[in-house]
């Protein structure tokens, strides 16, 4: 199992992501954004978190034009699995590989804390190892995580089972940290091979650091 | 020629910054404010002297990079 991680100037979660997937037995290659091709044996492509291009203009807006993104797009179009975490999610929406957009958090604060999430759908390759309505505790750390999509787009997401995660409290009651429409924390594209989420499962790999709930989430991503 | 691009959130999209500024103005006792929208302005110095072509080009820039049309709208003003 080979996980390829894209690194832009300003990416800062590539090594956490490497640690997480190595812990699960995958081999990792981190590639610089100037690359025009992905390693041929890539099983999962990760756009990691951070602050690509300093979040200038809008989060993810400039990374979208990096050479590697053409390769990422064609990889996804051929059915390859793409995961965008946090800034990676922002890059994927800016690239139109995922619908909607990520606005400034409604309270205007940078939010960094553990937050519970509820699994909305397991009918996809990413969360198939989890149970519907299962609750996990995963850190969030973002300024622009306020997911927005127009009403028609929202309906289409639900009709096609593309909403995978909602923010909730420890009892599973919906709890919205950032103003996201319908408390949405993660979605897929129509074909369900591109997944973006604001929370950081790669930071929830050890109980000593607060939670290891990221393990069962990321394990599913490796299972081909 | 100079192009001024004014970018704001679409009218249906909640503007949290605008709301916060509105609250702050209210706290400062400016009671006559009905609504506040915060946007951004990008000023481009262009080599072009053809207004129609320049406007079309700047619109293309807005669609591809300068704005996110999912949540934002823009107006272009040209000054020669």
In contact, A145 and A102? CB cutoff 8 Å? yes
Please name every residue paired with A21 in a beta bridge, in sequence order, or none if there are none: none
CB contact under 8 A, B70 and A148: yes
**A chain contacts of residue B70, beta-carbon cutoff 8 Å:** 93, 100-101, 148-150
B32 touches chain A (CB under 8 A): no
Cite the DSSP H helix spans in chain A. Answer: 14-23, 67-77, 87-94, 151-159, 214-222
Pairing mode, strands A146-148 and A101-103: antiparallel
- Residue B80, pLDDT score: 85
Q: What is the pTM of this model?
A: 0.94
Among A53, A57, A179, A182, the residue to mutate for chain B (most B Cβ within 10 A): A57
Q: Which of A13, A33, A86, A115 is catalytic?
A: A86
3-class secondary structure, A112: strand
Q: What is the pLDDT along chain B (80 residues), one digit of tens a residue?
A: 999 999 999 998 999 999 999 999 999 999 999 999 999 999 999 999 999 999 999 999 999 999 999 999 999 999 98
Looking at residue A8, its pLDDT comes to 97
CA distance A31 to A37: 9
Residue-wise pLDDT for A20-59, tens only, equals 999 999 999 999 999 999 999 999 999 999 999 999 999 9
Is A86 considered catalytic here?
A: yes
Assess A106–B contact: CB distance below 8 Å, yes or no. Answer: yes
Question: How far apart are the C-alpha atoms of A185 and A163, rounded to whole Å?
Answer: 8
Would you call A140 helix, strand, or coil by DSSP?
strand
**DSSP symbols for A185-201:** EEEE-TTS-EEEESS-G
Query: Tell me: the pLDDT tens digits for A92-143?
Result: 999 999 999 999 999 999 999 999 999 999 999 999 889 999 999 999 999 9
């Amino acid at each position: 199992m080979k996980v390829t991680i894209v690194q832009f100037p300003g990416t800062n979660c590539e090594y956490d992501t490497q640690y997480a997937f190595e812990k699960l037995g995958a081999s990792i290659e981190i590639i610089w954004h100037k690359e025009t091709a992905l390693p041929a044996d890539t099983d999962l492509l990760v756009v990691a978190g951070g602050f690509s291009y300093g979040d200038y203009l809008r989060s993810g807006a400039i990374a979208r034009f990096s050479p590697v993104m053409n390769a990422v797009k064609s990889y996804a179009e051929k059915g390859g699995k793409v995961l965008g975490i946090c800034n990676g999610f922002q890059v994927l929406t800016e690239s139109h590989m995922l619908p909607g957009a990520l606005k400034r958090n409604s309270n205007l604060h940078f939010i960094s804390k553990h937050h519970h999430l509820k699994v909305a759908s397991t009918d996809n390759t990413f969360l198939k190892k989890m149970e519907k309505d299962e609750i996990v505790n995963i850190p969030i750390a973002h300024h622009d995580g306020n997911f927005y999509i127009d009403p028609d787009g929202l309906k289409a997401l639900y009709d096609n089972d593309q909403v995978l995660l909602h923010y909730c409290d420890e009892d599973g009651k919906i709890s919205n940290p950032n103003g996201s429409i319908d408390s949405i924390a993660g979605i897929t594209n129509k074909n369900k091979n591109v997944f973006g989420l604001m929370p950081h499962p790669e930071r929830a790999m050890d109980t000593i650091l607060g939670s290891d709930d990221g393990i069962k989430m990321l394990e599913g991503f490796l299972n081909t | 020629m100079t192009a001024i691009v004014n970018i704001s959130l679409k009218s249906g999209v909640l503007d949290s910054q605008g709301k916060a500024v509105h609250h702050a103005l209210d706290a400062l006792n400016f009671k006559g404010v009905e609504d506040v929208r915060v946007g951004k302005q990008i000023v481009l110095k262009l080599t072009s002297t053809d207004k129609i072509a320049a406007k079309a080009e700047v619109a293309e820039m807005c669609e591809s990079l300068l704005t996110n049309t999912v949540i934002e709208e823009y107006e272009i003003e040209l000054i020669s």
